Structure 1
Amino acid sequence: MKMNNSIKFNWIYLFIFIIVIEVIGSLSALFAGNIKTIYNSLNLPVLSPPDYLFGIVWPILYALIGIAGYLIYYTPSIQQDKVINYVLFFSQLVINFIWSIIFFKYDAYWLGFAVIIILDLIVLVCIIHFYKTSPLASIMFIPYFVWIIFASYLTIGVAILN
């Protein structure tokens, strides 16, 4: 099956990309400690969602990140764009991974705020740059971007209140 007449679509590789990203997200949560207990012990800002919502939202976002990763990997593009896409993709993944550990395990709320602002910026650059190679990959990152902007608000709120 062809997709956009430019990449050969492979469900198995797509599934692998999604699973790998989901596992990375799960490992980050595992290394961060008991996030639910810590979250509920914090003084939270107005509009803080209930703890269970994170367990619904993040798997969806990780699936979208996995789809975007698949698309930027398998969509033909010039070598320079591929390298930039890979660096951006893996940078946001690493920063996303370490944020919850910094924030929840080490209670480093202000450092967590600095890290999430960097994540916000990198994800925004991903959206812009991925568009050249795969508009769909770019679109897959928009819900992620919206959520981490909201998470930035929550992070600074926790930093101020705690």
Structure 2
Amino acid sequence: MTNMALFAEHQVRADLARLLLAAVEASGRTRCDIARDAQIHKDALRRVLTGERSASLGEALRILAASGVTPQAHILLFLVSSGDHAIAWLQSDLAQFFEDFTGELPSALERVLGNQVHNVRPRWAKGTAHRVARLLSDHIDELERRDALLGDGFASGQGGHHG
């Protein structure tokens, strides 16, 4: 059952303000520049960042984009995980991966599952998420092994020319 207290307006506004403020501060840009690029008045931006005013979804996306972060990924993280994940992943390759992954996932599920897409059960979500993470970890390990082998091969090849 969903805890409705998590969706209290003041709490959502404060959490979103914290995410947006972190993005603005991490950007290294002035608030005036961000306000201009996000097409929001600088005083409205100040009130959004302090939590005095709620940002619309469009404003939040534009503020994140003007701050140089992946807007959809951070809004998704904010909605499905926590503001802490969204803040921790600011300006990271992991955020870009998450944005690309979640953008591709619906069509990939339809393409791969075909008619089986209607057989998917919600109870499988957690296990599937862990399996995808393990597959990704294995993939990274394999790439690191290949890089190490290529590096060793390159070093021995270089050594042979200079020996």
TM-score (norm 1): 0.28
Higher relative contact order (CA 8 A, sep 6+): 1
Larger radius of gyration: 2
TM-score (norm 2): 0.27
